[in-house]
Amino acid sequence: MMKNRIKNKIKKEQEERIEPETLQFAIAEIAAESWRYQLALGKVLKRMDVIEAERFSRQYGYFASKVNRAVASAGLTVLDLTGQGYNPGLPIQAMNLEEFDEDEALIITQTIEPVIMIDRRVIKTGVVMLGRA
Alpha helices, H only, 1-123: 2-16, 20-45, 50-73
Q: What does the alpha-carbon distance between residue 69 and residue 18 come to, in Å, rounded to a whole number?
A: 20
Torsion angle (degrees, nearest 10) of CA 113, 114, 117, 123: 10
**Over the stretch 45-98, which tens digit does the pLDDT of each residue have?**
999 999 999 999 999 999 999 999 999 999 999 999 999 999 999 999 999 999
Q: What does the alpha-carbon distance between residue 118 and residue 24 come to, in Å, rounded to a whole number?
A: 9
Q: What are phi and psi of 104, to 5 degrees?
A: -80, 140
pLDDT value of position 24:
87
pLDDT value of position 17:
58
pLDDT value of position 4:
61
With contact defined as beta carbons under 8 Å apart, do 31 and 78 qualify?
yes
pLDDT value of position 21:
77
pLDDT value of position 104:
94
